[in-house]
Amino acid sequence: QVQLVESGGGSVQAGGSLRLSCAAYGYTYSVHCMGWFRQAPGKEREGVAALYSVGGRTLYADSVQGRFTISQDNAKITLYLQMNNLKPEDTAAYYCAADPRVRGCSIRPPQYTYWGQGTQVTVSS
């Protein structure tokens, strides 16, 4: 089992920055992929970014490429999402997730087994 706890959400004006954190607890050594996802009211959950826990290769949605950066600490127990040049369309609840299965990482929500409770990001124009 892996437990995930997000923090760092908040309200910011367009063009501003936020950094989200996701603390992982439990069998973190078993995690192969970690990702950030978001869900706006009335919309489906969508992938934002993903990271291979071994090697650190990253994947991004086109909508955030060049603005967001996913990373993890050296102990691989905290996942980060640095969000720069935020736009009103980035407003959503943001979730981190983990996949223990050794296979290719993606930003497809169904791949992921463990989920955090989410943290709200609101960007005003």
CA atoms within 13 A on the CB side of 28: 18
Could you give the CA distance from residue 111 to residue 100 in angstroms, rounded to a whole number? Answer: 10
Write out the DSSP string of the chain. -EEEEEE--EEEETT--EEEEEEEEESGGG--EEEEEEE-TTS--EEEEEEETTT--EEE-TTTTTTEEEEE-TTS-EEEEEE-S--GGG-EEEEEEEE-S-S---S-GGG--EE---EEEEEE-
Residue pLDDT, tens place only, 70-122? 999 877 789 999 999 999 999 999 999 999 887 789 999 999 999 999 999 99
Cα angle: 121, vertex 75, 25; to 5 degrees: 60
Residue pLDDT, tens place only, 29-71? 778 899 999 999 999 999 999 999 888 899 999 999 999 999 9
